[in-house]
Amino acid sequence: MADFHTKTFYGQKTSVRITSPSKEVPYIFLSCISRKPNGSWEKPSDGEGKTVRLSIEEIICILEVLNRRSANWRGYHVFKERKTEIYVGWEDQSRQVLRIIIGEYAKKLRFPNLNFMTLMLDHILNEKIEFATSGTFEAKTKENVEMDEETEFGLFSEHIVAKDGLHIVETTEFSMSRDTTEIEAKIKVESPKALLIILDAGEEVWIPKSTIHSEYDVKEKEKSQKFIVDKWIIEKYKIPK
């Protein structure tokens, strides 16, 4: 069984690449690159294009779309001041053309590349569940992908709603590094992993409990409370400070 996987799905102007540096690490890299005016392709190893790291949970979300059990998946990666939106979804209800968007890069995939990607991700997922979720490991990166040293992350599942008989899934992966700010809001609903808060302007926002760094009383729903929260959640929802 191979330890390292990589595959580039080329297009005329934009290509997408999947890289699994080792079966023993719980993530893959997804890159989008463009063709330069001189005909050569951007190189992620030179810091070109756009590369994101996807967790096992996010691989599962993408496979749900590829297997046509979800209409689309949208992810938000937040690290320090850098925010990247990732989108994987069907172009229309025929579900024959897949759109992949990473930041400002976009790529469409059709048969047989759709089948290739599905089989590859399914194989990688099974590998990682077997080898990356037990014991100890060292990341054996065999491709010099330009990435920050992102050591600790959290993943928050935003919401799941129905559309055309399929689901839409949105997740947010955020850095555990603490850059915080203070807001005031009322608590409306508590779930095991998040709070639905009401801002002074009346807007309702779900925020993950892991982004809150102050004490709060879930039983006190009539009065505003002060919350110290991660800065990225403020920026994402444009919450006034």
pLDDT in tens, 100-146: 999 999 999 999 999 999 999 999 999 999 988 865 444 444 334 33
Contact 100, 106 (CB under 8 A): yes
Q: Residue-wise pLDDT tens for the chain (241 aa)?
A: 567 899 999 999 999 999 998 888 888 999 999 999 999 999 887 888 998 888 898 999 899 999 998 888 888 776 555 678 899 999 988 999 999 999 999 999 999 999 999 999 999 999 999 988 865 444 444 334 334 433 344 555 544 444 555 655 556 554 544 577 888 899 998 887 788 899 887 888 888 887 787 888 888 888 888 888 877 777 777 776 6
Residue 133 has what DSSP assignment? Answer: S
pLDDT of amino acid 81: 56
Say whether the peptide bond before residue 112 is cis (omega within 30 degrees of 0).
yes
- HSE-up (13 A, CA, CB side) for residue 241: 12
SS3 71: strand
Give the residues across from 16 on adjacent strands: 9, 32
Question: CATH assignment of 5-175, given 2.30.31.40, 3.90.1150.170, 3.30.565.10, 3.60.21.10?
Answer: 2.30.31.40
Spell out the domain ranges in the chain: 5-175, 180-237
